[in-house]
């Protein structure tokens, strides 16, 4: 089992404490799985209290032993339930907290009300913006985890090309992709931060399935095979000369890579083929032009402008009511990390950010074509993490 | 695409309104994916308002068209964001709400605070206990969905026996199980209600992996292959004469079946073999004895007593600090539904309930053995939904 290095945890805690101090907070409670893993290295059932200075306290409900083995945090305590945090906090000089941070974007109301009752005098402040911003800048260790996930995806795309046959259902291909990834070490689930945001590990959409509008903030989504999970692979079958769209995710040590490739058995219709080339052109242009310091929104504008010049404005990132206004998103421990390459996001691209860029084109009744690749921002520009070639994948 | 029948939705709404009235509530907002699907038949991004009487209002952010195709609710409105609910509520005579229900166990705090700001005069009441209790009693339509999921699991167990080889990793087997299930129509994800409760579709644990204590309220859990997803299959390899424990889940139209089988290549050590027989005996006894009206806790007591008489008390449902105190749980749209067969659950078993019973035994350093089967309560007793034989599965 590979643990998060001590130096990573210490550096993250230090930055987080600096942020807490800048917001005049006495400290923060960290309860959400992913934030907990990020700041402690363990995802056992626990509550982490990070004071604005001094040592963080990791209070573990289950499993104490595993948390102790996994976490670099030194002050680890076993508690029977969340009530157990009160004497520990008091015993460490945190009995009189005033302004305290919580992950209000995800913390369930019942837990919020519990804390409100137990700490009647504290001000509750949302730490999610801070913690999410902190996570946008990845260390070389983190980039390496994402690259390992990327390598599994690359292998998966190589292998799936050999397995797809005419008439195969999207569901079969989806199953095979999971099988290939899991064998190589995929951690088994994907994670999004947003509430009610669920996802399967891949969206395999053949032909017209790719043009079905879905509930998420995604270009595609697909019908799924039931209204109870209305996205991803369904009963659609692979046909000749139709796009087979595969948006595929894998996680290694918590870090996700997220890629899309378009495959075809035979030839794409002319407009779809040209739109696919436009996706490539958009990525090539952004790869050449993007530098640290330019606003995130600029990437969307640039991509949109290339789509428009090539005559695909109405298909770009969805069609009609299914259109979404972004062309990329941060990736890391969650698939919906910051930044977002969308209008209004004026914050600049910074060295150390890792994100997916995904110019895609939807054609009603015909499907979706496009490419998604992962990039990291270096001091000079952006560097593609994906190894797979960006050409349309032709299946014989 | 199979839709939830209109009659199901109407009956559910009617029962829910009766419950709202009994709690003196003016109505309830339903936002969580699963509750929304249960009461409307769609899982598109939407807010459902159910008044204590009169027609429910389904207000859809995305996709309006899909929600209209899927839902039996008649009053469906398109809104651009959650603020759009205000004029619709006012326009339907719900402008002066006083006591209103919310899913406080899962609703994120930020959303709670938004509602609090928009409706400064209402009392917030938690509807989760009511909605969860309502869901415990399954209609024949619902039982049928679970049976379909069960049939996929049965087929998966049949097929995986032919594929397991010595030296294969848990991860490979996990991938194959997903592949088999997905091909047959598994909806692709599993769902738990509890916050931070994540799960892979199966726990494949070979030998000592099965004895690793995990963070969840489960007998087993396993190491996983990273602290970032500390459960389920890991890098462990199948060895001769060791238990291969497979806890396997599948969903059809939202409804889950949850089964466990123990496999072995060669022979189990004597104590493990005897414990496995004890699992069988517990299920046989409960199958013969359980009738509607007896308290849920009684099933745990009976199972525990058989384990004790057979000399396996200390291994029953975990060992040492990993012990959990239950032997069964409701299944349906979530894998952690009510009731729970655990000490303290005095509520009686009722006709129409569907639950999993899972007597299991953990041996430190050696692994876990046991069986999990799904049952429905009839007017006379409990009926097994699982078709697979309960015998230990021997792989040649």
> Could you tell me whether strands B75-78 and B57-62 are parallel, antiparallel, or unpaired per DSSP bridges?
parallel
- How does pLDDT run across B58-79, given as a tens digit for each residue? 999 999 999 999 999 999 999 9
Scan for tokens 């409670």, then name that residue.
A29
Instruction: Say whether B229 and A188 touch across the interface (CB within 8 A).
Output: yes
Query: Inter-axis angle of helices B170-183 and A170-183, to 10 degrees?
Result: 170
Average pLDDT over residues A300-321: 97
C-beta of residue B76 within 8 angstroms of C-beta of residue B49: no
Residues in chain B: 396
Is-same-fold flag (A6-135; A137-395)?
no
Give me chain A's average pLDDT, please. Answer: 97
C-beta of residue A102 within 8 angstroms of C-beta of residue A114: no
A47 to chain B: nearest residue by CA?
B196
User: Which residues in chain A are contacts of B109 at CB distance < 8 A?
Assistant: 102, 104-105, 107-109, 111-112
Judged against a pLDDT cut of 90, whether residue A387 lies above it is answered with no
Rounded to whole angstroms, the Cα distance separating B262 from B372 reads 10
How far are the Cα atoms of A32, A255, A291, B184, B226 from residue A135, in angstroms, in the given order? Answer: 14, 12, 20, 39, 20
User: Which residues in chain B are contacts of A185 at CB distance < 8 A?
Assistant: 171, 225, 235
Distance in Å, alpha carbon of B342 to nearest chain A alpha carbon: 18
Q: Does domain A137-395 have CATH number 3.90.230.10?
A: yes
What tokens were used for A322? 């299914």
B46 to chain A: nearest residue by CA?
A215
Instruction: Say whether A230 and B66 touch across the interface (CB within 8 A).
Output: yes
User: Which residues in chain A are contacts of B232 at CB distance < 8 A?
Assistant: 188
Judged against a pLDDT cut of 90, whether residue A337 lies above it is answered with yes
Average pLDDT over residues A243-253: 98
- How does pLDDT run across B1-34, given as a tens digit for each residue? 999 999 999 999 999 999 999 999 999 999 999 9
pLDDT at position A321 is: 86
Rounded to whole angstroms, the Cα distance separating A269 from A319 reads 18
- How does pLDDT run across A95-137, given as a tens digit for each residue? 999 999 999 999 999 999 999 999 999 999 999 999 999 999 9
Single out the residue of B342, B358, B384 nearest to residue B143, CA to CA. B384
Cα torsion A300, A106, A255, B203: sign: negative
Single out the residue of B128, B144, B105, B136 nearest to residue B337, CA to CA. B136
Rounded to whole angstroms, the Cα distance separating B294 from B201 reads 32
- How does pLDDT run across B249-258, given as a tens digit for each residue? 999 999 999 9
Instruction: Say whether A113 and B106 touch across the interface (CB within 8 A).
Output: no
Rounded to whole angstroms, the Cα distance separating B12 from B135 reads 9
Distance in Å, alpha carbon of B291 to nearest chain A alpha carbon: 32
Residue to substitute from B164, B215, B217, interface A, most A β-carbons within 10 A: B215
Average pLDDT over residues B379-391: 93
B234 to chain A: nearest residue by CA?
A185
SS3 B218: coil
Pinpoint the alpha helices (H) of A164-221: 170-183
Instruction: Say whether A108 and B1 touch across the interface (CB within 8 A).
Output: no
Pinpoint the alpha helices (H) of A164-194: 170-183
Single out the residue of B24, B68, B73 nearest to residue B49, CA to CA. B73
Instruction: Say whether A171 and B179 touch across the interface (CB within 8 A).
Output: no
What tokens were used for A57? 């306290």
Rounded to whole angstroms, the Cα distance separating B296 from B290 reads 10
Instruction: Say whether A226 and B169 touch across the interface (CB within 8 A).
Output: no
With a pLDDT cut of 90, the percent of chain B lying above it is: 97
Query: Model confidence at A283, in pLDDT bands (50, 70, 90)?
Result: very high
* Residue A166 φ/ψ, nearest 5 degrees: -60, 135
Query: Model confidence at B387, in pLDDT bands (50, 70, 90)?
Result: confident
Query: Model confidence at A388, in pLDDT bands (50, 70, 90)?
Result: confident
Contacting residues for B120 by C-beta, under 8 A, at least 6 apart: none
Instruction: Say whether A252 and B226 touch across the interface (CB within 8 A).
Output: yes
B175 to chain A: nearest residue by CA?
A179
Rounded to whole angstroms, the Cα distance separating A162 from A95 reads 62
Average pLDDT over residues B321-347: 96
How far are the Cα atoms of A110, B180, B186, B390 from residue B201, in angstroms, in the given order? Answer: 28, 12, 10, 21
> Could you tell me whether strands B367-370 and B123-126 are parallel, antiparallel, or unpaired per DSSP bridges?
unpaired
Query: Model confidence at B297, in pLDDT bands (50, 70, 90)?
Result: very high
Q: Where are the domains of chain A?
A: 6-135, 137-395
Instruction: Say whether A187 and B1 touch across the interface (CB within 8 A).
Output: no
Q: Does domain B6-135 have CATH number 3.40.640.10?
A: no
- Between CA B225 and CA B232, with CA B230 as vertex, the angle to 5 degrees is 70
Among the residue ranges A196-205, A238-247, B90-99, B215-224, the one predicted with the least confidence is B215-224
User: Which residues in chain A are contacts of B323 at CB distance < 8 A?
Assistant: none
Instruction: Say whether A179 and B181 touch across the interface (CB within 8 A).
Output: no
pLDDT at position B217 is: 86
Judged against a pLDDT cut of 90, whether residue A228 lies above it is answered with yes
Residue to substitute from A188, A209, A211, A230, interface B, most B β-carbons within 10 A: A188
Contacting residues for A277 by C-beta, under 8 A, at least 6 apart: none
In this structure, the dihedral spanned by the alpha carbons of residues A288, A294, A295 and A300, taken in order and rounded to 10 degrees, is -10
B42 to chain A: nearest residue by CA?
A227
Single out the residue of B264, B273, B278, B254 nearest to residue B360, CA to CA. B278
Rounded to whole angstroms, the Cα distance separating A386 from A148 reads 10
Give me chain B's average pLDDT, please. Answer: 97
C-beta of residue A77 within 8 angstroms of C-beta of residue A65: no
DSSP characters over B35-80:
HHHHHHS--SEEEEEEESSS--EEEEEE-HHHHHHH---SEEEE-S
Instruction: Say whether A172 and B182 touch across the interface (CB within 8 A).
Output: yes
C-beta of residue A373 within 8 angstroms of C-beta of residue A384: yes
* Size of the A and B interface in Cβ pairs below 8 Å: 237
Rounded to whole angstroms, the Cα distance separating B364 from B144 reads 39
Judged against a pLDDT cut of 90, whether residue A379 lies above it is answered with yes
Residue to substitute from A66, A123, A128, A175, interface B, most B β-carbons within 10 A: A175
Rounded to whole angstroms, the Cα distance separating B131 from B16 reads 7
């Amino acid at each position: 089992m590979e643990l998060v290095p001590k130096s990573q945890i210490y550096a993250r805690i230090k930055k987080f404490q600096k942020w807490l101090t800048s917001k005049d907070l006495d400290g923060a409670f960290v309860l959400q799985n992913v934030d907990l893993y990020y700041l402690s290295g363990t995802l056992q059932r626990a509550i982490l209290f990070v004071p604005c200075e001094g040592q963080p306290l990791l209070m573990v409900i289950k499993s104490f032993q595993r948390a102790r083995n996994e976490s670099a945090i030194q002050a680890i305590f076993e508690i029977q339930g969340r009530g157990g945090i009160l004497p520990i906090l008091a015993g460490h000089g945190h009995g009189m907290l005033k302004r305290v941070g919580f992950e209000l974007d995800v913390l369930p109301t019942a837990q919020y009300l519990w804390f409100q009752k137990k700490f009647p005098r504290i001000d509750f402040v949302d730490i999610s913006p801070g913690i999410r911003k902190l996570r946008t800048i990845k260390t070389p260790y983190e980039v390496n985890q994402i690259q390992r996930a990327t390598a599994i995806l690359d292998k998966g795309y190589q292998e799936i090309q050999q397995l797809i046959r005419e008439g195969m259902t999207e569901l079969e291909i989806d199953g095979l992709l999971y099988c290939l990834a899991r064998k190589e070490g995929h951690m088994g689930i994907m994670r999004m931060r947003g509430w009610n945001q669920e996802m399967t590990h891949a969206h395999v959409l053949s032909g017209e399935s790719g043009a079905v509008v879905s509930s998420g903030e995604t270009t595609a989504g697909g019908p799924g095979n039931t209204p109870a999970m209305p996205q991803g692979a369904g009963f659609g079958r692979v046909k000749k000369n139709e796009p087979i769209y595969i948006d595929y995710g894998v996680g290694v040590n918590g870090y996700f890579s997220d890629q899309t490739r378009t495959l075809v058995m035979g030839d794409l219709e002319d407009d779809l083929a040209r739109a696919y080339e436009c996706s490539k052109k958009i990525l090539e242009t952004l790869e050449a032009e993007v530098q640290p310091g330019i606003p995130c929104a600029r990437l969307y504008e640039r991509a949109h402008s290339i789509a428009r010049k090539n005559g695909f404005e109405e298909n770009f990132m969805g069609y009609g009511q299914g259109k979404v206004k972004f062309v990329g998103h941060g990736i890391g421990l969650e698939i919906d990390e910051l930044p977002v390459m969308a209008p209004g996001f004026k914050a600049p691209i910074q060295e150390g950010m890792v994100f997916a860029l995904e110019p895609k084109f939807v054609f009603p009744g015909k499907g979706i074509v496009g490419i998604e690749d992962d990039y990291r921002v270096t001091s000079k520009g952006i560097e593609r993490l994906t190894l797979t070639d960006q050409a349309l994948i032709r299946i014989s």
